[in-house]
Chains A and B, each alone.
Chain A
Amino acid sequence: MNARLPAPGDPFRVVRRGLALSAVAFVGLAVVYLIALAYTPVEARQGLAQKIFYIHVPAAWSALLAFSLVGIASLMYLWLHDTRLDRFAAASAEVGVAFSAVMLTSGPIWAKPIWGTWWTWDARLTLTLFLFFLFIGYLSLRAAVHDPAERARFSAVVGILGMLLVPFIHLSVYLFRTLHPQPIVLKPSAPSLPPEMLRTLLVSTVVFTLLYLGLVTTRYGIALADEAQEDARHAT
């Protein structure tokens, strides 16, 4: 239990650092947009829509990163009972929802011109949908439990179970699709990427990772600040 006095200076420093890091990442994102439009060549068969690739794939990476870290933090929380791990897991889950939302919008917007249909039950989109539902379930549970210790324990269980569900979803979709091959009009990504495309993808992935770190830090700081105020309110 925390017997220390609340220190309002600390949480806001974390928040400011997080906001600043995210702001830098957003500048990076603008740069990525420019590079994707001006520098990277247009894919001959798919046209401009193929460039959605440079935000969809890094967003997927960030969402999966967020999700895995929720799982790992949950596991460590049940082992170590450190509230910082629980706070981090909650922050990572919320940021994960944002990146999943980007995936769930960019995916269909990409699929429509390339595959001719808004939705397809391919491995990536299906998994995205599941990640989204798992994040939402996790956050709903947190909102519904009042006692902080109970909330931390329950969320940790859901976080771990969710992390272990992902390989099974992947396996089920894979087994299903090998039996029912879906007609694919155009392959969404070329077998070997030309260097300019690869470079753009890598830069974008770095930017998205920075964005994840900045947003998680901010969210974590806000949770800290919120708790400090709760403590102060109970002390007076």
Chain B
Amino acid sequence: MPPEPPSNGEYMAAAYIVAALILLGYWVRLWVKARRLAKVGKPIGG
């Protein structure tokens, strides 16, 4: 009977969550920046 794989699922979960947070967080930051620029730009350009 082969040995059970070690139970370390919490590490996998942590890494997956942190990665998603970093990448999504960066995307949100860009989105917010874009919105702010768009609001300022409207009176000048249209």
Contact = CB atoms under 8 A, between A and B. Distances in A.
Direct A–B touching in the complex (beta carbon < 8 Å)? yes
Contacts of A225: 34, 37-38, 41
Interface stretch (A65-73, A107-115, A144-152, A166-174): A107-115
Given A47-B8, A218-B30, A105 B45 contact: no
A222 B30 CA distance: 8
Contacts of A18: 30
A47 B20 CA distance: 21
A232 B45 contact: yes
Contact of A26 (B22, B27, B34, B37): B27
A12 B24 contact: no
Interface residues of B, number: 31
A42 B23 CA distance: 25
Contacts of A45: 5-6
A105 B11 contact: no
A10 to B, nearest CB: 10
Contact of B44 (A15, A55, A229): A229
A3 interface: no
Given A48-B12, A229-B40, A211 B5 contact: no
Interface string A16-38: 00110011001001000100000
A46 B34 contact: no
B18 A105 contact: yes
A113 B6 CA distance: 9
A105 B5 contact: no
Contacts of B19: 55, 59, 102, 105-106
A109 B19 CA distance: 11
Contacts of B24: 26
A29 B5 contact: no
A109 B11 CA distance: 6
B44 to A, nearest CB: 5
9 contacts: A29-B23, A33-B16, A48-B11, A55-B16, A102-B22, A113-B8, A225-B34, A228-B41, A228-B45
A-B CB proximity, top 3 nearest: A8-B45, A47-B5, A113-B8
